[in-house]
A = this chain, B = another copy of it.
Amino acid sequence: MDIALTFLGTAGSVPTPQRNLSATLLQRGSDRILVDCGEGTQRQLIRAAVGLTQIQTILLTHLHADHYLGLPGLLKTWDLWGRTDPVDIHGPRGLLDLVELLRRIIGRTDFPVHWHEQRAGDVLPLSGARLVAVATDHRIPSLGWMLAEDDRPGRFDVAAARRLGVTDGPDCGRLQRGEAVTTTDGQTVRPTDVLGSPRPGRRIVLTGDTRPCASVIAAASGADLLVHDSTFTSAEQQRAEETYHSTSREAATVAKEAGVRRLALTHLSYRHHPRDIHAEAREVFPDCVLPADLDRMIVPFPEKGAAYLEKEPVAVPS
């Protein structure tokens, strides 16, 4: 099952000619999850041609305007396009106060919009995976979001199964699903006889605006990908602290301490050259990328290699 992220908006609080306001699309199989929805997100989705109407879930990291002002326009466009499927919108404490306001702008829609306030640790189930709200540290209530897949069954050892007398066909499926089977000569074969140990699913953590924090390091521990606030370089360390953002050095330190496989830097202030932001992070954590708007990142199963931007040369797993 494919997992891909499309970086729809990688600017800090102010857009630039190259970068729109915050939004990231997370696709896993048929699940389409939008993380934040800054002004102009509907147009970025249209430009990226990634199935505007099939988004089922919107996750907001916090309720600063540059992270949600694209919502009313997106919902209105869905309505104009005749959407009937419901959409679920999750955000931190304060969301339900904002809804009243947004509803007056949006007006009536022909599809249901469900709004949910979540707290750190809350879990939203997906098929074979889950979304988990992660505590982050911003000026107002805020959440990061983790996509965590269930463990996958261990690798099926065909040769061992044959040796034990398991016939090809339905019995192999039963064993892979965790059921014991009986062979034609009356022997019981258990799943553990033919399956390797369970293989971990993929794990991706995205923060919105945040200071570096222990809860993100814990959630991202060993994750395949961390997408982290990287608003400033260390040249503006004090400003980062005052505004509850992270420098790229801090984002890289979080990635290093969590032992993530790959780091993507986002929410870049127009006051710093992306090259400087990137260079500073790489000193601490070399395996980090700085996506441009509309870049797509693929997250393969861990044994197939690390997450990569489609425009990067694909690393062939050794």
Contact = CB atoms under 8 A, between A and B. Distances in A.
A65 B112 CA distance: 19
Contact of A43 (B13, B40, B65, B104): B40
A40 to B, nearest CB: 4
B69 A43 contact: no
Chain A interface bracket (under 10, 10 to 19, 20 to 34, 35 or more): 20 to 34
Given A40-B43, A65-B106, A14 B101 contact: no
A46 B16 contact: yes
Interface string A60-87: 0000011001101100110011000000
Contacts of A17: 43, 46-47
A50 interface: no
Interface in A3-31: 13-17, 20-21
A105 interface: yes
B66 A14 contact: no
A109 to B, nearest CB: 12
A72 B39 CA distance: 10
A181 B69 CA distance: 62
A42 interface: yes
Contacts of A72: 65, 69
Contacts of A80: 13-14
Given A39-B43, A101-B104, 7 more contacts: A14-B77, A15-B42, A17-B46, A17-B47, A65-B72, A65-B105, A69-B105
8 contacts: A13-B76, A14-B80, A15-B42, A16-B46, A21-B43, A40-B40, A65-B106, A69-B105
